[in-house]
Structure 1
Amino acid sequence: MLLFYRGRLYCYKIWENPEGNRIGKPTRRVRITDCNFIKGHGISIGSEMSGGVSDVLVRDCQAGPLLHGLQIKGTKQRGGYVKNVRVLDCQLQQITIFSKLPYNNDGQAAPEIPTFSDYVFNNLDLSSSKQKGPAIDIHGFEDPNHKLRNVIFSDVLLPANATVSVNDAEDVIFTNVLTKDESKPTYTLKDSKNIRY
């Protein structure tokens, strides 16, 4: 589902448990291009994604001071997956991946924890961000079989003194991720492995 309000796209959702787990119908091949997001909660994929979401392209978009920037989110009760997401050539202010949300999980939990995997973030300008906290803030699931996996950040410009936080993730690569003063950001890692920067 694409949610529009007063001409603005706010979020992308597909099913929630338990209906989403029972029906199991995924959403695939989504393109979001040439959009200007002025305000709101964020450019959101999830958290109602029990049927699964894959093959999403976000390209040539701009976002103002949204609450969570571009976000991929879910809870461990929802099940499903978000995979094969590409975010290219965008001007954003924050990237967040959430796995712990204080949401009503709408009944019986899914039999499996969700999977977040295979994301590419390339040629992004976050340098105008005035957000508090990390400019890139990613959290996989704590279960060792459901860590966030296979993520690439390349050619990303961050504000001065930026921080990047990586939690419960595996195989995350940061290439040419620099602040406006051509310094590397400060990285904080927790319960993660194979993180390269």
Structure 2
Amino acid sequence: MKITDIRWIAVAVAGLMVGTVVPAMAAGKVCDARAYGAKADGTTKDTQAIQNAIDDCAKAGGGTVKLSGGTFLSAPIVLKSNITFDIAKGTTLLGSPDHADYPSKIEFRGPGYQSLVSATNAQNITITGGGVIDGNGASWWALARTQKNAGVLGSENSRPRGVVFDHCKHVRIEGVTVQNSPYWQIVPYYTDDVVIRNVRILAPQHSPNTDAIDPFSSSNVVIDHVYADVGDDNVAIKSGMINSPGPDAPSKNITITDCDFMHGHGLSIGSEIAGGAQNIKAERIHFNGTDQGIRIKANRDRGNDVSNISFKDITMENVKTSILISEYYPKALPQGEVAAEPVQRLTPHFHNITIENVKSVNSAWAGVIIGLPEAPVKNLVMKNVDIQAKKGMAIAYADVTGKNVKVTAAEGEGITVAPTAKATFK
């Protein structure tokens, strides 16, 4: 597939240079949190000292807030416009273990808790320095598991996120480690012009919903040289919640390059995609031990237009499912032909998708590509794809064209095409 939206190509190229827009270190006042009373001893709560440093710099028109040496224990803090938050190498910003320190609030149009680091309606913000932001999420994960086991509805939202930019512009995160967030770790929400580069994002393999990066209804996002080893999606591009009443803005013009994804649920678009997603490009991504590799997912209660998507130069090893494209997520896949339902506002439409130069070894499943009978996957092109798996690839309710595609399955057929699909391989 050739992407013909020249405007997006121009934006994507500009996006690779977006780091020149946001300086690595803001000019202006330097506010060292220790000068405002921070102890950095890992036991004293330094929240007020850090916030005072941020506020003082902001009042001066912007500057650099420095955390240097030691462990700064903190409840949620709020960044402001024109602030560089410099967490020096060997320094940790550690989230408070006291759940009462996280105020409840409406976040992302629903009930939640204030994130450890956040900014709202702000611009020109940089987080840098080589240090660590640690969400200290273990007690929250235990609570989430307990609530889930008890059948508490909405329990997944009863945790703060790690780093959230809400309706912001010109954001840069570079050189730091973000880890152990109680919930999603880095979230640009309705935010434009974002660079996340040379960042490590970590959480235990089975920590619930610890997505690494979730661009949510955001645009012009660059994710580059990121190492993510987490408990859920390594990247999840979102744009609207389940049964969203709307309106929802799309996520668009996003590039993901030169990343290493380890444990986690892969590079995902969806499943909450009520605003749609367009012009997504992922290149030179390596997966090792993820549950899925390439994943596009939605359902009738959370979908929209997902188009102009490109995956190129992808390598995978020890991935459970190499390619998963499903308009039934998270429901079980149907067997055989099923009845079409009326097309609604939240019906997913996946089309104009290219998967090129993919090598996957030791996978459990090569893949699944399945659309809805009323909205089949359209114009999915695979080129130079080589997958070695225990079981093959199944295609249903989809229009797929392949060139130089090889699926080697230890059990059964390499590629199974249902009567409901149209697939041509050369």
Place the TM-score, normalised by the shorter chain, in its bin. Answer: 0.7 to 0.9
Compute the displacement of 1:110 (Å).
5.3
Which has the larger share of helix?
2
5 Å-filtered alignment, 1:44-83, equals 44-83=268-307
**Matched position secondary structure for 2:246:** helix
Asked if the contact 1:162–1:179 (Cα under 8 Å) also holds between the matched residues in 2, the reply is no
Query: Where does 1:105-184 land on structure 2 (aligned, <5 Å)?
Result: 111-126=345-360, 128-131=361-364, 133=365, 135-143=366-374, 146-159=375-388, 163-170=392-399, 172-179=400-407
Q: 1:114 to 1:13 in 2, by over 3 A?
A: same
The Cα shift of 1:160 comes to: 6.3
How many residues align structurally?
182
For 2:382 and 2:241, how far apart are their aligned partners in 1? 29
Deviations 1:89-145 (A, max 9, x none): 110340110121247xxxxx953411010100111111x1332x3x121011122xx
- Stretches of 4+ moved more than 4 A in 1? 1-5
After superposition, the Cα gap between the structure-2 partners of 1:119 and 1:159, relative to the gap in structure 1 and judged at 3 Å, is same
Residues 1:155 and 1:114: Cα distance change in structure 2 (over 3 Å): same
Matching of residue 10 in structure 1 with residue 235 in structure 2: yes
Deviation at 1:80, TM superposition (A): 1.2
After TM superposition, the score normalised by the length of structure 2 is 0.39
8 Å CA contact 1:79–1:110 kept in 2: the answer is no
- Which protein has greater RCO, CA pairs closer than 8 Å, 6+ apart? 1
CA distance in 2: counterparts of 1:192 and 1:125, whole angstroms: 27
TM superposition score normalised by structure 1:
0.81
In terms of Rg, which structure is larger? 2
Per the TM alignment, residue 49 of structure 1 is displaced from its structure 2 partner at its CA by 0.6
Contact 2:393 2:407 survives alignment (8 Å): no
Partner Cα separation in structure 2 for residue 79 and residue 28 of structure 1: 15
Please name the residue that 1:34 is paired with: 258
The answer to whether the 8 A contact 2:248-2:275 is kept is: yes
Which residue in 1 is equivalent to 2:417? 189
SS of the residue aligned with 1:82? strand
- Per-residue deviation, 1:186: 2.4
Alpha-carbon distance between aligned partners in 1 of 2:327 and 2:237, rounded to the nearest angstrom: 16
Partner of 1:59, secondary structure, is strand
Question: Cα deviations across residues 45-98 of structure 1 (Å, max 9, x unaligned)?
Answer: 101110010100010010012112210000112131211110001103401101
Q: Which runs of 5+ in 2 are unaligned?
A: 1-163, 165-183, 187-200, 203-226, 229-233, 332-342
Q: CA-atom RMSD, angstroms?
A: 2.6
User: Residue 145 of structure 2 corresponds to which residue in structure 1?
Assistant: none
- Which whole-Å CA distance do the structure 2 matches of 1:102 and 1:43 have between them? 16
Is the CA contact (8 Å cut-off) linking 1:157 and 1:179 kept in structure 2? Answer: yes
Task: Specify whether residues 188 and 159 from structure 1 end up closer, same or farther in structure 2 by C-alpha distance, changes over 3 A only.
Answer: same
What percentage of residue pairs aligned between the two structures are identical?
Answer: 23
Whole-Å separation in 1 of the counterparts to 2:346 and 2:253: 24
Residues 1:18 and 1:193: Cα distance change in structure 2 (over 3 Å): closer
